Amino acid sequence: MPDVTLTTLQALKAKGEKIAMLTCYDATFAQVAARAGVEILLVGDSLGMVLQGHDSTLPVTNADMAYHVASVKRGNEGALILADVPFMAYSTPEQAFANCAELMRAGAHMVKLEGAAWLGDTVRQLADRGVPVCVHLGLTPQAVNILGGYKVQGRQENQARQMRADAIALEQAGAAMLLLECVPSELAAEITQAVGIPVIGIGAGSATDGQVLVMHDMLGLSLSGRAPKFVKNFMAGQADIQSAFQAYVKEVKDVTFPGSEHGFSA
């Protein structure tokens, strides 16, 4: 697979080909996923839960993230590496500059921040300094204590209107990509049409420009034993992990996954 860049992702959106993203935290899985055709490897702060055993992503540090980004980089074969900036590591632009620089030096091609239109100035300043930004909207796990748990976001009309406005404002501020988590499928479709940048969904229906899952979830691994509604076990019926990754990429590309049963209504 030729190296995936922002230009590649923009071209995929333009021609209507879906983008496959998976979380990844080490060199071995990076190689397998890239060879299976996964275009974006998300080094997620989800590692706090699936690798470190915490009950949220909040304990993860920027040093943790940089370590795993560097590990993924060593095994990667052409995928774009997207790195989460962890909780309270971008509360000021200056803090964001320092922590994003560490992640980019470790091997990230883009960083992901959780928030809304209030991130506009930080997004703009990072983009001006050569750091592409993906903004995570909807259910933002770093804000779990404010949200009162892991709940679908955007079901109320005022919330939906605000999320649409935030998405447009963030694109205007220079965001290179958006990620929508646990958002009603119809709202996610509207946002995807309203912006010119790629929109990736997780629990956001099939109309987004691409999909992402936590790797452990799609391989049928869960510490809690309960998979979220938007997850499908791609390991079922497959001989090995590479086959499971290939099945995921195929189903994302042909829009077999996600099905209506994996989404949420308003």
Residue in this structure with the two tokens 């590591």, named with its chain if needed: 89
Check whether 84 is labelled as a binding-site residue. yes
Is 181 part of the annotated catalytic residue set?
yes
157-173 vs 120-128: helix crossing angle, rounded to 10: 20
d(CA 112, CA 119): 11
CA-based max dimension of the chain: 48
d(CA 253, CA 232): 15
Q: Using DSSP, how many helices (H) and how many strands (E) does the chain show?
A: 11, 8
Burial of 144 per CB tally in 10 Å (0-12, 13-18, 19+): middle
Phi then psi for 151, rounded to 5 degrees?
-120, 150
Nearest by Cα to 207 from 193, 181, 189: 189
Check whether 17 is labelled as a binding-site residue. no
Q: E-assigned strands of the chain? A: 19-23, 40-43, 80-84, 110-114, 133-138, 177-181, 199-202, 210-213
User: The dihedral of CA 75, 213, 179, 59: what is its sign?
Assistant: negative
Check whether 45 is labelled as a binding-site residue. yes
100: three-class secondary structure by DSSP: helix
> Which candidate in 17, 181, 186, 251 is catalytic?
181
d(CA 12, CA 148): 36
Check whether 112 is labelled as a binding-site residue. yes
Residues in binding site for Mg(2+): 45, 84, 114
Catalogue the active-site residues: 181
Q: Which residues are annotated as a binding site?
A: 45-46, 84, 112, 114
